[in-house]
């Protein structure tokens, strides 16, 4: 594992964007696994700049996102599809038809999740998976659990996640109680993992995840078994 501590959010974002850009430059038809949350917003903005400068071309890239709330339509500003369109896809020259976010409004969620895994498999897996980490150690929306769930699946969100994500909604009651998330198989089979983490409040969970026991109670701890993980952390 490579662990970088940098002294600002700006530096974390630039470094992460450079790693993603390098991936796309060396393999133009890369499959990128993408994340939401506040942490990667700066990374996405920087990728937008790199694309506008002509340094990186996303025209052949395919993206698969980690997760989506159940019941939020794409027009809802808090849906992850809306987030991705706004914070990344509108800033780069990607073909929107090559961007995939689980559909949390699918009439048949079981069908949606199994098709999502099939899609990732048909794409040949993920070349680089960008991750954040939840305050409870979740990656995607894989919440603390008795087991690591392998496939894309529906989850009931942990109360601590609902509280943490309430800042994006008008009131806590508006936060959906369920989500759909990629499972550990697609994440762990990604060829490279890049995790961005910011804020002193994440320091403790980061230590548990990467230096504590590997346990589904700290979902990110499974990444200790991945052969190519880069973590960029800033206290800011």
Nearest to ligand GLP of 106, 135 (CB atom): 135
Q: Say whether residue 62 binds ligand GLP (CB under 6 A).
A: no
Residue 194: CB minimum distance to ligand GLP, A: 12
Residue 37: CB minimum distance to ligand GLP, A: 3
143 is catalytic: yes
Nearest to ligand GLP of 102, 140 (CB atom): 140
List the 153-156 sheet strands across, edge first: 67-69, 178-181, 153-156
Of residues 4-43, those binding ligand GLP (CB under 6 A): 35-39
17 CB neighbour count, 10 Å cutoff: 23
Helix (H) or strand (E) holding 222: none
Residue 223, both tokens: 């990444």
Q: Say whether residue 134 binds ligand GLP (CB under 6 A).
A: yes
Total residues binding ligand GLP (CB under 6 A)? 14
**Residue from the set 140, 176, 183, 219 that interacts with ligand GLP by CB under 6 A:** 140
Q: Say whether residue 67 binds ligand GLP (CB under 6 A).
A: yes
| Given the residues 68, 112, 127, 143, the one annotated as active site | 143
| Residues 142, 158: Cα–Cα separation, whole Å | 10
| Given the residues 68, 112, 136, 158, the one annotated as active site | 136
Cβ(220)–Cβ(211) below 8 Å: no
Q: Say whether residue 137 binds ligand GLP (CB under 6 A).
A: no
Residue 162: CB minimum distance to ligand GLP, A: 9
57 CB neighbour count, 10 Å cutoff: 16
Closest CA to 157 of 132, 171, 140: 140
Nearest to ligand GLP of 37, 61 (CB atom): 37
**Residue from the set 44, 141, 210, 233 that interacts with ligand GLP by CB under 6 A:** 141
Of residues 175-234, those binding ligand GLP (CB under 6 A): none
146 CB neighbour count, 10 Å cutoff: 8
Rounded to 10 degrees, the C-alpha dihedral 115/120/121/126 comes to: -170
Q: Which residues does 136 contact at the CB level (< 8 Å), separation at least 6?
A: 143, 144, 158, 160, 161, 205
Interacting residues with ligand GLP (CB under 6 A) = 35-39, 66-67, 132-134, 140-141, 161, 165
Catalytic residue IDs: 67, 136, 138, 143
């Amino acid at each position: 594992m490579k662990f970088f501590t940098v002294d600002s959010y700006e530096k974390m974002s630039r470094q992460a964007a450079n790693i993603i850009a390098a991936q796309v430059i060396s393999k133009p038809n890369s499959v990128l696994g993408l994340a939401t949350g506040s942490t990667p917003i700066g990374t996405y903005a920087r990728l937008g700049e790199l694309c506008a400068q002509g340094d990186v071309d996303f025209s052949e890239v395919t993206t698969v996102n980690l997760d989506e709330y159940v019941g939020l339509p794409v027009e809802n500003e808090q849906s992850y599809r809306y987030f991705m369109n706004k914070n990344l896809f509108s800033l780069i020259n990607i073909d929107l038809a090559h961007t995939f976010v689980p559909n949390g409004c699918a009439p048949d969620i079981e069908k949606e999740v199994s098709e999502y895994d099939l899609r990732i498999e048909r794409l040949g897996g993920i070349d680089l998976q960008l991750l954040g980490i939840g305050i409870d150690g979740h990656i995607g929306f894989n919440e603390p659990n008795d087991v690591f769930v392998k496939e894309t699946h529906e989850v009931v969100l942990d109360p601590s996640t609902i509280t943490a994500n309430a800042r994006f909604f008008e009131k806590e009651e508006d936060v959906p109680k369920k989500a759909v998330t990629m499972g550990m198989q697609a994440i762990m089979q990604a060829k490279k993992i890049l995790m961005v983490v910011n804020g002193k409040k994440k320091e403790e969970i980061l230590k548990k995840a990467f230096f504590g026991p590997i346990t589904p109670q700290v979902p990110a701890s499974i990444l200790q078994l991945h052969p190519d993980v880069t973590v960029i952390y800033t206290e800011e």
